[in-house]
Copies of this chain bind each other. A is one copy, B any other.
Amino acid sequence: MGIFVFAISGALLAVRKNFDVFGLAVLALVTGLGGGLFRDLVIDAVPPAAFTELGYLLTPLVATGIVFFLHPQVERINKAIQVFDAAGLGLFCVTGTLKAYDYGLGLTSCAVLGLATAVGGGVLRDVLAGEVPSLLRWDREVYAVPALVGASCVALLLRFDALNEFSMTVAAGLAFLLRILALRYGWRAPRAWHRRSGAAEEP
């Protein structure tokens, strides 16, 4: 499901950039599977799950089809997509961290890889579409923080041997909630000192 909503966001960006149907499919695949693919390459889980499980390949293509035929409706439910995307973010940062742990990485590395799994697809999507990744931009609501909090929670739970289905759900829910709150209240991360004071002095 995380893959599906990420793929939808990729296909929508492709529509906005006026790409053709293959552009839609490529951006949907990259956004949905990119983060996991990067993680699998790093932890040497090859061939990556994206290529061994057929469902992983088909989900973005279904998302492409939906956006291709219905995209005015899909754009209209943009709000709903942001909610799904936040849910995907929560799920991915938890599963990414766990999978890295299964392959024997240290806890800090696991949290970083969980973060990379959650945000990697979106970064690849933006780079391919010729845009500055929204992850990096100041004028976007924070995206990395919720994923980082979720991934760190899982790492801490692993550390204290307190990981079970319930605590995992709480970690994913926390990341989800933070992202929703960031969207709702327009939370942004600070820029470097100088720029901020410069902007304040401008008027």
Residues of B within 8 A of A103 (CB): 47
Complex interface: stretch among A68-76, A80-88, A162-170, A175-183: A68-76
Interface residue count for A (Cβ, 8 Å)?
60
Scan A32-67; emit 1 where CB is below 8 A from any B CB, else 0.
000001000111101110011010010000000001
- Contact residue among B17, B109, B136 (Cβ-Cβ distance under 8 Å from A52): B109
Quick check: A142 and B22 within 8 Å, CB to CB?
yes
Known A41-B41, A129-B132, A137-B23: A193·B14 in contact at CB below 8 Å: no
What sequence of 0s and 1s flags, for each residue 160-203 of chain A, a beta carbon within 8 Å of any chain B beta carbon? 00000000000000000000000000001111111100000000
Question: A158: CB under 8 A from chain B?
Answer: no
Complex Cα gap A57–B131 (Å): 27
**A residues 123-173 touching B (CB-CB < 8 Å):** 123, 127-133, 135-138, 142, 144-145
Question: Residue A19 contacts which of B113, B129, B136 (CB distance < 8 angstroms)?
Answer: B136
Q: Which B residue's beta carbon lies closest to that of A26? A: B136
Q: Is the CB of A131 within 8 A of B130?
A: yes
**7 pairs of residues in contact across A and B, judged by CB atoms under 8 Å:** A17-B136, A22-B135, A23-B138, A42-B47, A51-B106, A54-B109, A68-B192
Interface residues of A (CB under 8 A from B): 14-15, 17-24, 26-27, 37, 41-44, 46-48, 51-52, 54, 57, 67-69, 71-72, 103-106, 108-109, 112-113, 123, 127-133, 135-138, 142, 144-145, 188-195
